């Protein structure tokens, strides 16, 4: 998506309260935010265009803090002050960075929010990513490590080591979903489904039979592959296909192995995580994508509140689908 298209899409409208619903309470609204379509459905009490607008405004506010695509965002300004010690930040930036930094430790660096210099070297913070020369790629990778970011929560502040760049692309959408759901709760919304371009999905309340979730085929994102129902919580999916390019030596995607500083290249096509919050689901889907199905399943076994689905390329055109942890019954919709 070009910057012009992003700007245009930002002007998209709230579609409004759907009067077709028996109680005229099922509202649906769509907005282009954080580089993707965000769809909100509220099939319960408290739904109103005002609630939807407030939720979208919360996400737009967080985009101004967390986006690496915008030089004026708070994270971009923080990155520009790397090496200059502890910098005062907003509470949101400190909280999400703190969660990301803790995930870096518990995943032994598979999820690493200091990946920014590498993402930048490969141009994945632009519309035109490309493979860097070996030397700049190596230099960029040298600035990535969990201990190169230091967070304090009270008062909120962050220090980045020299030339280290923070990138919260692997967790920011999930955090935005959680905060937007908080705003809806404050409006008295009793049931909601917030779908962030199908990569992050969060819910308020419960519906009969559970909330239906459909996961697209990673080889053809227009085709459904898996479906399941969950009572509550959040879902996040990570894969290379959504953001990737074909360059010398093959296809390169936007999820990096922090240990090598290169895009993850494995038989894994997609990881879906089910977790109590969208922040954790988002961070973990990125982390498990880096770990791979076997190590990822072992990690999930250590977290009883989490479930994961791994989709790998199998023999021929087939797919290998495995699950770990607390996962509901999964139906396969296509081959
Ligand atoms: P997601 O789509 O949630 O898996 O996040 C992918 C995004 O997270 C990328 O576009 C990068 O901005 C960032 N990222 C890439 N690799 C990593 C990693 N190993 N740890 C944390 N963030 C990453
Ligand atoms: Mg993620």
**Share of residues in the chain with pLDDT > 90 (%):** 82
Ligand 1, atom nearest to 257 Cα: 19
Model confidence pLDDT, tens digit, residues 176-207 = 999 999 999 999 999 999 999 879 999 999 99
Q: Which of 5-9, 201-205, 296-300 has the lowest mean pLDDT?
A: 5-9
CA 171 to centroid of ligand 2, rounded, Å = 5
Q: What is the DSSP string of 236-301?
A: EEEESTTSEEEETTEEEES-EETTTTEE--SSEEEEEEEESSHHHHHHHHHHHHHH-HHHHHHHHH
Query: What does the angle CA 274 – CA 239 – CA 333 come to, to the nearest 5 degrees?
Result: 65
Neighbours of ion ligand 2 (CB under 5 A): 170, 282, 285-286
Ligand 1, atom nearest to 289 Cα: 4
Q: Is there an atom of ligand 1 within 6 Å of 169 CB?
A: yes
Distance (Å, rounded) from C-alpha 292 to C-alpha 276? Answer: 22
Nearest alpha carbon, ligand 1 atom 3: 170
Is 4's pLDDT higher than 70? no
User: In which residue are the tokens 């967790």 written?
Assistant: 171
CA 287 to centroid of ligand 1, rounded, Å = 8
Which one, of 103, 90, 98, 100, lies nearest residue 63 by Cα?
Answer: 90
Q: Which two tokens stand for residue 104?
A: 């870096």
What pLDDT is recorded for position 26?
A: 58
The number of the ligand nearest the C-alpha atom of 101 reads 1
Q: Is there an atom of ligand 1 within 6 Å of 51 CB?
A: no
What pLDDT is recorded for position 9?
A: 34
Q: pTM of the entire structure?
A: 0.92
Which one, of 44, 36, 38, lies nearest residue 6 by Cα?
Answer: 36
The number of the ligand nearest the C-alpha atom of 118 reads 1
Distance (Å, rounded) from C-alpha 293 to C-alpha 303? Answer: 15
Q: Which two tokens stand for residue 79?
A: 């990155």
Secondary structure (3-state) at 89? coil
What pLDDT is recorded for position 31?
A: 96
Taking the alpha carbons of 48, 52, 55, 60 in that order, is the dihedral positive or negative? negative
What pLDDT is recorded for position 17?
A: 41
Distance (Å, rounded) from C-alpha 313 to C-alpha 122? Answer: 25
CA 272 to centroid of ligand 1, rounded, Å = 14
User: In which residue are the tokens 């929560």 written?
Assistant: 153
| H/E segment holding residue 131 | none
Q: Is there an atom of ligand 1 within 6 Å of 120 CB?
A: no
Distance (Å, rounded) from C-alpha 320 to C-alpha 301? Answer: 20
Is 24's pLDDT higher than 50? no
């Amino acid at each position: 998506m070009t910057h012009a298209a992003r700007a245009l899409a930002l002007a998209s409208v709230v579609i409004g309260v759907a009067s077709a619903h028996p109680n005229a309470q099922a509202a649906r609204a769509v907005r282009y935010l954080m580089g993707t379509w965000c769809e909100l459905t509220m099939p319960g009490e408290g739904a109103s265009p005002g609630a939807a607008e407030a939720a979208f405004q919360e996400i737009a506010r967080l985009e101004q803090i967390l986006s690496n695509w915008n030089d004026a965002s708070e994270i971009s300004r923080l990155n520009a002050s790397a090496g200059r010690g502890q910098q005062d930040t907003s509470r949101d930036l400190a909280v999400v960075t703190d969660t990301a930094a803790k995930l870096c430790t518990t995943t032994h660096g598979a999820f690493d929010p200091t990946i920014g210099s590498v993402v930048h070297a490969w141009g994945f913070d632009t519309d035109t990513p490309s493979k860097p020369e070996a030397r700049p790629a190596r230099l960029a990778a040298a600035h990535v490590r969990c201990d190169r970011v230091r967070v304090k929560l009270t008062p909120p502040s962050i220090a980045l080591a020299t030339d280290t760049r923070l990138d919260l692309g692997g967790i920011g959408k999930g955090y935005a979903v959680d905060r937007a759901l908080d705003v809806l709760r404050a409006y008295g919304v009793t049931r909601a489904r917030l779908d962030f371009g199908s990569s992050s999905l969060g819910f308020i309340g419960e519906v009969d039979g559970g909330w239906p979730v459909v996961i697209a085929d990673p080889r053809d994102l227009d085709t459904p592959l898996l479906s399941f129902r969950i009572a509550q919580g959040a879902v996040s999916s990570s894969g290379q296909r959504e953001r990737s390019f074909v360059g010398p030596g093959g296809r390169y995607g936007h999820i990096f192995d922090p240990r090598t500083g290169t895009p993850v290249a494995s038989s894994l096509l997609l990881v879906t995580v089910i977790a109590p919050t969208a922040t954790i689901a988002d961070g973990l889907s990125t982390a498990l994508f880096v770990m791979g199905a076997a190590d990822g399943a072992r990690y999930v076994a250590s977290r009883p509140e989490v479930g994961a689905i791994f989709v790998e390329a199998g023999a021929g055109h087939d797919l290998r689908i495995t699950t770990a942890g607390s996962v509901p019954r999964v139906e396969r919709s296509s081959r």
